[in-house]
């Protein structure tokens, strides 16, 4: 379904932030902001929720800890216990000190890779993907606010345009996206 | 945004805009490479290929071509391994630990320091692999079931912990680095004009958009990866030191090893960063971003870690005497006065005395002096590993087995070859990758850029004041400010 979107371009992150605040206070829904670097404080203004990737990292980490423990217990205690100088090796707990380094490393390995893969998938940033930003300058020094007409049905197109023009934009553009 | 005190030296010199930062970082990638790059690359490649040749000869003939003998079964291979792993500690330390401490000066150097880390760990990884003699069965270090041999791998062994530590460190370092690179690749992608670079950087940038939500995730992922990488950095060199510390060889059997190795690793890693950064900032015209203040901070890290290393040397000496174990005592007397005295005293001079000169402000702010010291430190750190490894085992419990180690030309060729390969990788990185985390640097332009700092009453200066804390209360103030303009 083709949808009309307005892209308003700014050349300063603080001007954009003030502009977004003004628009939101008038009841406009800002659907997205594109910027070359993270604009601190923009998320609560336009209603971007905090990511839950941190929780995922924790879960991946726990998985790593468990896998390492189960694996080493099977290898070192169950399948082929080694007699090293007659030291106790009947239970996993007897030998746990020797297993801590690998458990730690494997936890970090799973947490980091799990989180990184989730991050790339959730962002849909994967090898070979085409550029998703509306204008090539948004990765250099320009900042763009995206308004979707379907999300702002209480305003007409002209009203939105005139409201944007009061916020210190440098360019305005309209596109149809799918 | 947090604004820095006015008396602090700015992190970005001159009157830069966001666009200037993009230009400054991307220009060396988009322009033709200078002739000097080709010359350096050629030299590094020749040395690197010679190293590869030596490695192939070694693999074809066996590790008898090294200067090892039955007393000294470990020498340059493990020395070089530990040396390279140590160098590979600065990058993650800079990007992870300094991120957690919110040290903004890291942003100018973290990207290339991380690249250096990854290449150094590549070089380090080469040594344990080739010292197996049969490289093609290197995967036997993985926990594979019995029919590959008669046993599983031994999870009690520090050598196996090393396999896990180094591979985790390498792969986590790689993704940390790459996730930071994606937005910068997108910048190059969007600027690229010629079709081949455009294609290449589009592929590398993974279709990065710069949406608010994506940046939100980006920041959290960086933070969590930093949180994971910080204990990882410390664990890796601790585990490397366990290779020695858990043995019963006098001179190795020391509980001080883990912290002492970690400090030494940071010490040599920062020295390598200094060596590379001082050349790079000149060659790529990045003097506005990497300047005396950054160099001074790194020199302070070198001074502190160098002092920790110095204290560790002296503690080791004291404890060897205090232990009352005659073998332990002899190991240390032999280090200082035996046939390898020159290695010991080179190590002492390079690692204990030279960093102390950094107490003098004028010296630690001198770029030439820093460059010289950074090389001296890395020579010293190589000798440290050589002293620990070779001098501890060349006179073992049985005097009839006492021996000396003489490196063969293959030892030398492989070592020098890894330095060549390291520079091949680093030069390629400097040619095709953004050497500065350019989009991260843009976030500190307003708080630490020279032109913004010295103009406190402009819109930007005022606006960025205390935004995070006040949130909505500052809206009115901001609007007034915009109207005034």
Q: Are residues A70 and A90 in the same domain?
A: yes
Which among B272, B361, B256, B358 is positioned nearest to B309, based on CA atoms?
Answer: B256
The residue-averaged pLDDT of B5-14 equals 77
Lowest mean pLDDT among A113-127, A160-174, B212-226: A160-174
Residues A69 and A92 reside in one and the same domain:
yes
CATH of the domain at B70: 1.20.1630.10
Q: How confident is the model at residue B482 (pLDDT cuts 50, 70, 90)?
A: very low
Same domain (yes/no): A61, A104: yes
Are A101 and B156 a contacting pair at CB < 8 A?
A: no
- CA B389: distance to chain centroid? 22
In the predicted model, is pLDDT for residue B475 greater than 50? Answer: no
CA neighbor of B377 nearest in space, from B7, B103, B90: B90
| Residue B1, domain member (yes or no) | no
Task: Give the residue-averaged pLDDT of A142-157.
Answer: 82
Q: Is the pLDDT of residue B450 over 80?
A: no
Any CB–CB contact under 8 A between B148 and chain A? no
Which chain B positions have a beta carbon within 8 Å of A36's beta carbon?
A: 18, 22, 183, 187, 210, 439, 442
Residue B276 within any structural domain of the chain? yes
pLDDT at B463 over 50: no
Which residue did the predictor score with more confidence, B413 or A90? Answer: B413
pLDDT at residue A178 in the model: 63
Residue B121 contacts residue B84 (beta carbons within 8 Å)? yes
Mean pLDDT of B154-182: 90
**Distance (Å, rounded) from C-alpha B315 to C-alpha B334?**
17
Instruction: Scan for tokens 């666009």, then name that residue.
Output: B19
Domain for residue B301, yes or no? yes
**Pair A30, A86 in one domain:** no
Q: Domain for residue B4, yes or no?
A: no
Q: Tell me the whole-structure pTM to 2 decimals.
A: 0.87
The residue among A16, A81, A123 with the most chain B CBs within 10 A of its CB, best to mutate, is: A123
Distance CA B314, CA B317 (A): 5
Tell me if chain A has a CB within 8 Å of the CB of B273: no
What is the count of structural domains for chain B?
A: 1
In a domain, B305, yes or no: yes
Short-list A99, A112, A101, CA closest to A70: A99
Which of A21, A102, A140 is closest, CB to CB, to B161?
A102
Are the Cβ atoms of B208 and A132 closer than 8 angstroms? yes
Rounded percentage of chain B residues whose pLDDT exceeds 90: 38
* Mean of pLDDT values over B41-51: 95
Q: What is the mean pLDDT of chain B?
A: 85
What does each C-alpha distance from B448 to A21, A165, B263, B441, B442 come to in angstroms? 25, 31, 30, 10, 10
Is some CB atom of chain A closer than 8 A to the CB atom of B416? no
User: How many domains does chain A divide into?
Assistant: 2
Among candidate residues B232, B93, B116, the one with its CA nearest the CA of residue B167? B232
The single-letter DSSP state of residue B142 is S
Q: In whole angstroms, give the CA distance from residue B223 to residue A119.
A: 13
pLDDT exceeds cutoff 90 at A70: yes
Per-residue pLDDT tens digits for B236-287: 999 999 989 998 888 888 889 999 999 999 999 999 999 999 988 888 888 8
Q: Which residues 101-160 of chain A have a CB within 8 Å of chain B? A: 101-102, 104-106, 108-109, 111-113, 115-116, 119-120, 122-133, 136-141
The yes-or-no verdict on residue B456 having pLDDT over 60 is no
Lookup: tokens for B331: 């190991």
**Residue B212, token pair as written in the block:** 């608010």
> By the CB < 8 Å criterion, does A35 face chain B?
yes
**Which domain covers residue B460, as residue numbers?**
18-480
pLDDT band at B79 (very low <50, low <70, confident <90, very high): very high
Reduced to 3 states, what is the DSSP secondary structure of residue B256? Answer: coil
Residues A83 and A95 in one domain: yes
Supply the range of the domain harboring residue A136: 3-49+131-177
Nearest-by-Cβ selection for B217 from A14, A123, A139: A123
Q: What is the pLDDT of residues B413-440, one digit of tens each?
A: 999 999 999 999 999 998 889 888 888 8
Residues A42 and A58 both lie in one domain? no
Q: Rounded CA gap, B15 and B17, in Å?
A: 7
Q: What is the ipTM of this complex?
A: 0.90
Q: Which residue has the tokens 């601190």?
A: A40
| CB-CB contact of A60 with A110 (8 Å) | yes
Average pLDDT, integer, range B106-132: 89
* One domain, residues A61 and A116: yes
Chain B segment 150-209 residues within 8 A of A by beta carbon are: 151-156, 158, 160-161, 164-165, 167-168, 171-172, 175-176, 179, 182-183, 186-187, 189-191, 202-203, 205-209
pLDDT value of position B3: 61
pLDDT value, residue B455: 62
pLDDT tens by residue, B286-296? 888 888 888 99
Which residue of A32, A140, A141 is in closest CB contact with B211? A32
A57 and A41 fall within a common domain: no
């Amino acid at each position: 379904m083709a949808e009309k979107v307005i892209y308003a371009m700014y050349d300063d992150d603080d001007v954009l932030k003030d502009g977004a605040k003004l628009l939101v206070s008038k009841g406009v829904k800002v659907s997205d902001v594109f910027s070359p670097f993270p604009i601190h404080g923009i998320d609560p203004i336009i209603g971007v929720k905090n990511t839950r990737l941190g929780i995922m990292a924790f879960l991946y980490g726990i998985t790593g800890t468990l896998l390492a423990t189960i694996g080493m217990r099977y290898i070192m205690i169950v399948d082929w216990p080694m007699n090293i100088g007659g030291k106790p090796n009947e239970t996993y707990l007897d030998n746990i000190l020797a297993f801590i380094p690998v458990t730690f490393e494997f936890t970090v390995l799973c947490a980091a890779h799990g989180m990184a893969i989730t991050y790339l998938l959730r962002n849909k940033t994967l090898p070979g993907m085409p550029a998703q930003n509306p204008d090539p300058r948004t990765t250099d020094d320009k900042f763009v606010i995206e308004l979707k007409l379907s999300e702002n049905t209480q305003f007409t197109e002209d009203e939105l345009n005139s409201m944007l023009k009061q916020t210190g934009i440098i360019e305005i553009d309209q596109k149809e996206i799918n | 945004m947090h604004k820095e005190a006015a008396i602090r030296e700015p992190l970005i010199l001159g009157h830069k805009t966001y666009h200037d930062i993009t230009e400054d970082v991307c220009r060396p990638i988009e322009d033709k490479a200078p002739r000097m790059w080709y010359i350096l690359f050629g030299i590094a490649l020749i040395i690197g290929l010679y190293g590869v040749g030596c490695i192939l000869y070694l693999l074809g003939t066996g590790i008898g071509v090294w200067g090892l003998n039955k007393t000294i079964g470990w020498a340059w291979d493990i020395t070089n391994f530990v040396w390279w792993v140590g160098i590979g500690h600065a990058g993650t330390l800079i990007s992870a630990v300094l991120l957690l401490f919110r040290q903004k000066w890291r942003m100018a150097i973290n990207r290339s320091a991380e690249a250096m880390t990854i290449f150094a760990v590549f070089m380090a990884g080469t040594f344990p692999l080739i010292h197996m003699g049969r490289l093609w069965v290197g995967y036997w270090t993985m926990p594979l079931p019995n029919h590959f041999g008669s046993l599983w791998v031994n999870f009690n062994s520090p050598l196996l912990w090393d396999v896990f530590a180094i591979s985790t460190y390498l792969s986590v370092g790689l993704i940390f680095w790459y996730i930071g690179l994606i937005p910068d690749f997108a910048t190059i992608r969007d600027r690229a004009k010629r079709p081949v670079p455009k294609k290449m950087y589009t592929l590398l940038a993974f279709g990065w958009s710069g949406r608010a939500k994506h940046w939100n995730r980006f920041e959290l992922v960086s933070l969590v990866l930093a949180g994971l990488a910080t204990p990882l950095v410390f664990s890796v060199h601790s585990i490397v030191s366990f290779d020695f510390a858990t043995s019963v060889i006098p001179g190795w059997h020391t509980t001080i090893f883990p912290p002492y190795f970690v400090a030494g690793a940071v010490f040599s890693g920062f020295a390598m960063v200094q060596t590379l950064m001082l050349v790079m900032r000149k060659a790529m015209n990045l003097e506005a971003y990497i300047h005396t203040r950054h160099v001074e901070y790194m020199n302070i890290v070198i001074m502190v870690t160098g002092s920790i290393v110095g204290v560790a040397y002296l503690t080791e000496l004291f404890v060897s005497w205090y232990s009352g174990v005659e073998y332990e005592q002899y190991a240390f007397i032999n280090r200082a006065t035996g046939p390898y005295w020159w290695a010991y005293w080179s190590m002492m001079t390079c690692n204990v005395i030279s960093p102390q000169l950094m107490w003098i402000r004028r010296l630690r702010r001198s770029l030439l002096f820093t460059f010289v010291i950074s090389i001296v430190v890395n020579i010293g750190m190589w000798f440290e590993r050589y002293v620990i490894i070779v001098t501890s085992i060349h006179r073992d419990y049985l005097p009839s087995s006492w021996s000396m180690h003489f490196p063969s030309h293959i030892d030398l060729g492989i070592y020098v070859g890894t330095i060549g390969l390291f520079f091949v990788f680093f030069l390629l990185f400097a040619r095709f990758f953004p050497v500065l985390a350019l989009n991260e640097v843009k976030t500190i332009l307003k708080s630490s850029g020279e032109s913004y700092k010295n103009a406190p009453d402009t819109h930007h200066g005022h606006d960025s004041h205390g935004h995070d804390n006040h949130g909505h209360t500052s809206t009115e103030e901001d609007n007034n400010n915009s109207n005034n303009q």
